[in-house]
């Protein structure tokens, strides 16, 4: 079965600095990849997802992630973070024709002024 | 459009008591999911419904957990009797069709935070 590893449990960063949240997955078949964001006391919101086509996917608020099949990675990046980006970020994977989406343990991004 | 609704938002019970959570998915969404999110971990799928039928409940502890979606709309998740390790956030999600295995987006509710003492 597929699994997801988020390499950093916490990432502190200063406002306007770049950030990368790392995600690696393992699977023997083709997969679909997701990044979800969870603000305090709220549910998960989809940030972006990779289904097929271009390996670089972007969100409306400046985040992007690149699917790297050879590295089995789907790292999330933003060139300049804001205080409002402070949240928990979850990477998730689902195998083609499988119903079970697997989540990583999450990375808590804290943006400091 | 209204999002996924869940209630209650918080619940505190003693071990061996029973508890029930309610979820109302986005209108028209055929698939409904229940996840358990233990502190410090990512969500784990407990059960998936397509309309009122169970698609996957392989990770549901059936000796104490049960779930139903009788009319194919809202759903109830029950724990009876609760154990200390059931303390977690229980998330409900829904998706439009039956395409989880094709990467269809799941929309999450705010969750119910359960504390078992």
* pLDDT recorded at residue A46: 94
Interface touch B105/A49, C-beta < 8 Å: yes
Residues facing residue B76 across a β-bridge = B22, B68
Interface touch A43/B45, C-beta < 8 Å: no
Residue A1 has pLDDT above 80, yes or no: no
CA B1, distance to chain mean position in Å, is 21
Interface touch A43/B110, C-beta < 8 Å: yes
Residues in chain B whose Cβ is within 8 Å of chain A: 3-4, 40-45, 48, 55-56, 58-59, 91, 93, 100-103, 105-111
pLDDT (tens digit per residue) in B85-97: 999 999 999 998 7
Rounded Cα distance, B44 and A44, in Å: 13
pLDDT (tens digit per residue) in A73-103: 999 999 999 999 999 999 999 988 787 889 9
């Amino acid at each position: 079965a597929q699994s997801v590893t988020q390499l950093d449990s916490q990432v502190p960063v200063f406002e306007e600095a770049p950030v990368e949240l790392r995600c690696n997955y393992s699977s023997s078949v083709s997969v679909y990849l997701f990044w979800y964001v969870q603000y305090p006391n709220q549910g998960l919101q989809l940030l972006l997802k990779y289904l097929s086509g271009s390996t670089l996917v972007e969100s409306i608020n400046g985040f992007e992630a690149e699917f790297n099949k050879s590295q089995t990675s789907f790292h999330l990046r933003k060139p300049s973070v804001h205080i409002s980006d402070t949240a928990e970020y979850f990477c998730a994977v689902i195998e083609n024709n499988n119903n079970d989406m697997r989540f990583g343990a999450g990375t808590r991004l804290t943006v400091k002024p | 459009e209204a999002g996924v609704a869940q209630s209650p938002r918080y619940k505190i019970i003693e071990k061996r008591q029973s508890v029930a959570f309610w979820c109302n998915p986005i209108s028209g969404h055929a698939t409904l999911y229940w996840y358990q999110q233990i502190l410090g971990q990512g969500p784990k799928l407990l059960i998936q419904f397509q309309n009122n039928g169970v698609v996957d409940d392989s990770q549901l502890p059936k000796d104490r957990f049960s779930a139903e979606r009788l009319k194919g709309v809202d759903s109830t998740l029950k724990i009876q009797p609760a154990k200390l390790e059931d303390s977690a956030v229980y998330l409900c999600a829904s998706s439009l069709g039956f395409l989880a295995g094709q990467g269809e987006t799941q929309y999450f509710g705010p969750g119910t935070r359960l504390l078992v003492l």
